[in-house]
Chains A and B, each alone.
Chain A
Amino acid sequence: MHTKTVAQLAQGLQQKEFSSVELTQCFLERIDALDPFYNSFISVNPSAALAAAATADEQLTRNNAGPLTGIPIAHKDIFCTSGMRTSCGSRMLDNFVPPYDATVIRNFGTAGAVILGKTNMDEFAMGSSNENSYYGPVNNPWDTSLVPGGSSGGSAAAVAAMLAPAATGTDTGGSIRQPGAFCGITGLKPTYGRVSRLGMVAFASSLDQAGPLARSAEDCAILLGAMAGYDKLDSTSSELPCPNYRATLGDSLEGLRIGLPREFFGDGLDPATGVAIDAALKELEALGASLVEVSLPHSKLTIPTYYIIAPAEASTNLSRFDGVRYGHRCVEPKDLHDLYTRTREEGFGDEVKRRILVGTYALSAGYYDAYYKKAQQVRRLIRQDYLDCFEQVDIIAGPTTPGPAFALGEKSNDPLAMYLEDVYTLAVNLAGLPGMSIPVGFVQDKPVGLQLIGQHFGEARLLNVAHRYQQTTDWHLAHPAMPKGE
């Protein structure tokens, strides 16, 4: 059961080959036996999961089921789950049990899905290796000495290790696509505003988006269908209606124009990764697409732009953690100032503190224009590059990451080297575009991802391209070996 896609599992459930309780039990047992090797989950609540599965089974008996009824799904521990701890990978929220559900969680509940557990992540989604978690690093299922990527590293590892059929993640600068690539699975970051951010702990509010991580583009289409849509409780949520993402998966790629930004294929791209990307592009060409060289002249500015805007928004968002209303509070504060400063010293990890400090600096009097305003202006130039490209091409493609997964500890003491990991993914968030990563091969047994970037609200086209590719290739079906010692 554990190797099947969501689409296959839904069929099995509806044809009564197995029940949701059996399916959920299967994954709970796998988590219990195998997650000590990966550390991909922070919280699992077996009795709540099995109770939800039993309810789903009743719906299935009444033949009143949708494509996600009874499917267990792992959620990044950034989504508020009513009555279930939501830590965001931080000591600050280690004791936080939300009084409400995130809209994403509520939407999955309405669709009949089962909450399998909450997955590990970089603290407050800040990181590209999952090494910034208060709950310890996650190990990559393809090689446990490697990072799984981040910040949705637990979600990606759980799906790759077949501890969950699918998972949710969030992506502020690559946090779905990069771990998707490193773990050899399919991940989608939707257009800004497509999925509600209500109840998703905020990092950088103008960049954050939630999306699915799964075994196939078809599964991502199923999950996005449940997650996406207008939410009146999120003022940045789009009112544009969602198409049926599954309906167009099989469309022909004949005539599709794919833009290849020359800035994504130059220095900095690992040559062996480049070979795998080229092969994937050839495959898309064989399916009827044409490849067009394009340019994104402001690409070099995406890292500095991002590392002003994201920390500035983070410093504002994270000011809410004050030790007064919820979350961590230091013991025996001697005055209110001591309560704030010591609570935040103890509650936040090093990378989170660095970003709060950089953001506070960029927003402080005398520096605002030189940093934050400047970055917002360059952000517009970066988006314009993409809009110009989309005058010539339908989608843009390139590597998701400069190379395959790196070793645990390799970059954890060098923030700038870590920031470079997201060089191909950051601009998509700055421009608010949808982006996907799909597995397209291996470099020394490590998975490599192809990134597909679409036009605003063009998720259906991305899923269509990814699905057609996966119909003629089998990289997405590859599974890592069982961990040593099993």
Chain B
Amino acid sequence: MAIEQDEIEKIAELARIRIASQQIGEVTQRITEILGMVDQLQAVDTTNIEPMANPLDATQRLRVDEVSEGNQREAFQAIAPAVENGLYLVPKVIE
């Protein structure tokens, strides 16, 4: 199926990826090609076929709800782009 450029812009916004205006045409064309290829699936009869999320049909294993990891805040913050007083810094969100 064909996808319009403004739809790609919407998807890119959902995915939080900026696409430069000079590239949007090419990106739209590539995505249209890929969606055209995957459209073959629409012709398959999948009535009463259970969707398969895990190839072994495994389900989520549960464990006892107890602390098993120590606090490693300093190790994690050491690799962050911007931190201060144990907090991650981002641009101002609330005026």
Compute how far the CA of A353 lies from the CA of B37 in the bound complex, rounded to whole angstroms: 18
- Contact with A416, one of B11, B16, B37, B52 (Cβ below 8 angstroms): B37
Set of chain B residues within 8 Å of A415, measured between Cβ atoms? 30, 33-34
Distance to closest chain A CB from B23 (angstroms): 9
Given contacts A376-B52, A380-B49, contact A354 B11 (CB under 8 A): no
B85 contacts the other chain (CB 8 A) = no
Q: Does A442 contact B (CB under 8 A)?
A: no
The interface of chain B, by Cβ under 8 A from chain A, is 3, 8, 11-20, 27, 30-31, 33-35, 37-42, 44, 46, 49-56, 58, 60-61, 63, 72, 75-76, 78-82, 88, 90-93
Q: Cβ of B40: which chain A residues have Cβ within 8 Å of it?
A: 300-301, 304
**Is A358 part of the contact surface with B, judged by Cβ < 8 Å?**
yes
14 CB-based A-B contacts, threshold 8 Å = A98-B79, A193-B56, A301-B41, A304-B39, A308-B41, A325-B76, A325-B80, A327-B81, A357-B12, A358-B34, A364-B14, A375-B38, A377-B52, A378-B49
Does A303 count as interface, using CB distance less than 8 angstroms?
yes
Given A307-B34, A326-B80, 8 more pairs with CB closer than 8 A? A192-B55, A301-B40, A304-B40, A353-B17, A360-B11, A379-B51, A383-B52, A432-B54
Interface residues of A in 287-320 (CB under 8 A from B): 300-301, 303-305, 307-308, 315, 319
CB proximity of A77 to chain B, nearest CB, Å: 16
Contact A335 B92, beta carbon cutoff 8 Å: yes
Q: Cβ of A193: which chain B residues have Cβ within 8 Å of it?
A: 56, 58
Q: A253 within 8 Å of B by Cβ?
A: no
- Chain A residues with CB below 8 A from B37, complex form: 303-304, 307, 416, 419
Q: Which of A59-67, A213-221, A342-350 contacts B (4 or more CB under 8 A)?
A: A342-350
- Residues on B with C-beta less than 8 A from A308 are 38, 41
A55-98 interface mask toward B, CB cutoff 8 Å, 1 = contact, 0 = none? 00000000000000000000000000000000000000000111
B13 to chain A: closest residue by CB: A341
> When the two chains form their complex, are residues B15 and A315 in contact, meaning their CB atoms are under 8 A apart?
yes
Q: Which residues of B contact A206 (CB under 8 A)?
A: 53-55
B44 touches A357 (CB 8 A): no
Q: How far is the CB of B13 from chain A (nearest CB, A)?
A: 8
The chain B residue sitting closest to A332, CB to CB, is: B91
A353 to B24 Cα, complex, angstroms: 12
A315 CA to B11 CA, complexed, in Å: 11
- A354:B41 contact, CB within 8 angstroms: no
Q: Which segment of A33-41, A126-134, A177-185, A366-374 sits at the interface?
A: A366-374
Residues of chain A in range 93-108 having any CB-CB distance to chain B below 8 Å = 96-99
Q: Are B91 and A333 in contact (CB under 8 A)?
A: yes
Residues of A within 8 A of B60 (CB): 235
Report the minimum CB–CB distance from A448 to chain B (whole Å). Answer: 27
CB distance from A426 to the nearest CB of B (A): 12
Please give the distance in Å from B4's CB to the nearest CB on chain A. Answer: 12
Chain A residues positioned under 8 Å from B19 (CB to CB) = 345, 353
In the bound complex, what is the Cα–Cα distance between A55 and B12 (angstroms)?
Answer: 50
The answer to whether B51 and A376 touch across the interface, beta carbons within 8 angstroms, is yes
Contact A341 B16 (CB under 8 A): yes
CA distance A301 to B42 in the complex (A): 11
* CA gap between A82 and B26 in the complex, in Å: 39
Report Cα–Cα, A433/B18, bound state, in Å: 38
Minimum CB–CB distance for B55 against chain A, Å: 3
Contacts of B61 in A (CB 8 A): 235
Interface string of A377-410 (1 = CB under 8 A from B): 1111101000000000000000000000000000
| Complex Cα–Cα for A456 and B58 (A) | 13
Q: CB of A13 within 8 A of chain B?
A: no
User: What residues of chain A lie closer than 8 Å to B14, measured between beta carbons?
Assistant: 360, 364
Determine the chain A residues whose CB is within 8 A of the CB of B92 once the complex forms.
335
When C-beta atoms are compared, the residue in chain B nearest to A420 turns out to be B37
Chain B residue contacts of A32, Cβ below 8 A: none
Residues on the A chain within 8 Å of B27, using CB: 353-354, 357
